[in-house]
Amino acid sequence: MKETALCPRLSKAMELLGKRWTTLIIYQLLDGSQRFNEIEAALPISGRLLSERLKELEKEDIVERKVYSEVPIRVEYSLTNKGRSLEGTVREIEKWAQSWL
């Protein structure tokens, strides 16, 4: 298929969600706000790659990073409204995987 035949928005969405671990990070955050180490413990992913993916998702306004001014500093990640809107899609992929994989 030629690139010109693809919808550019669909192409961008697939590029973003198709990156390794991205959809699983979103899936993990569907349960609510979590600290970096909680996400890292739940997924078999390196801290460096997790940090990279979280920054990409934050840049796309899918994930929000909230810093609490405590000692020690506490940072939590959560889904934005845009990120939460992916829940139906992620749940459907989960359902498909349970049925077919």
pLDDT greater than 80 at residue 3: no
Domains observed in the chain: 3-100 (1.10.10.10)
Averaged pLDDT, 16-35: 96
Task: Give the model's confidence band at 5: pLDDT under 50 very low, under 70 low, under 90 confident, else very high.
Answer: low
Averaged pLDDT, 6-31: 92
Q: What is the CA radius of gyration of the chain?
A: 15
Long-range contacts of 51-60 (CB under 8 A, 24+ apart): 53/19, 53/21, 53/22, 53/25, 54/25, 56/16, 56/19, 56/22, 57/22, 57/25, 57/26, 57/83, 60/16
Confidence at residue 11, expressed as pLDDT on a 0 to 100 scale: 87
pTM of the model: 0.88
